[in-house]
């Protein structure tokens, strides 16, 4: 029994330490792939959607019919950050441009 313990000790002492082969490069490549997937499927479409929304907001003119906060109305005046919208005959409200959901 003692001989087997001594042999096992000698084997473990003489064996070189196993170093991970290529684990650093594998991890770097894995991170790059994950970042590329996130960019392609989350960040890029979000930026595209925001650009289209901003283009829609910039195209609003007097007389357009807009949907804002669930209320339809006709644009009477366009300001830098707000719109004056007539929601009923003689009833004009000022709304933030970012509240506009769609333009008809």
Q: What tens digit of pLDDT does each residue of 37-78 get? A: 998 998 889 999 999 999 999 999 999 999 988 899 999 999
- With respect to residue 2, please indicate whether it lies within any of the assigned structural domains: no
Q: Residue 7: enclosing H or E segment and its boundaries?
A: helix 2-14
- With respect to residue 65, please indicate whether it lies within any of the assigned structural domains: yes
**Structural domain of residue 83, as residue ranges?**
61-104
Distances (CA, A) of 59 to 49, 62, 97, 104: 15, 10, 11, 11
Shared domain for 81 and 103, answered yes or no, is: yes
pLDDT top residue among 17 and 62: 62
- With respect to residue 76, please indicate whether it lies within any of the assigned structural domains: yes
Total number of domains constituting the chain = 2
Shared domain for 77 and 91, answered yes or no, is: yes
- With respect to residue 32, please indicate whether it lies within any of the assigned structural domains: yes
Task: Determine the pLDDT at residue 35.
Answer: 92
pTM, full prediction: 0.62
CATH number at residue 65: 2.30.30.60
């Amino acid at each position: 029994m003692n001989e087997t313990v001594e042999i096992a000790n000698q084997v473990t002492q003489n064996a070189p330490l196993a170093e991970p082969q290529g684990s650093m490069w594998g991890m770097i490549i894995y991170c790059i792939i994950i970042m590329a997937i996130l960019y392609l499927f989350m960040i890029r479409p979000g930026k595209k959607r925001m650009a289209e929304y901003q283009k829609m907001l910039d195209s609003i003119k007097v007389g357009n019919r807009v949907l804002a906060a669930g209320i339809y109305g006709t644009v009477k005046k366009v300001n830098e950050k707000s719109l004056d919208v007539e929601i009923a005959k003689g009833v004009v409200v000022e709304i933030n441009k970012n509240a506009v959901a769609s333009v008809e």
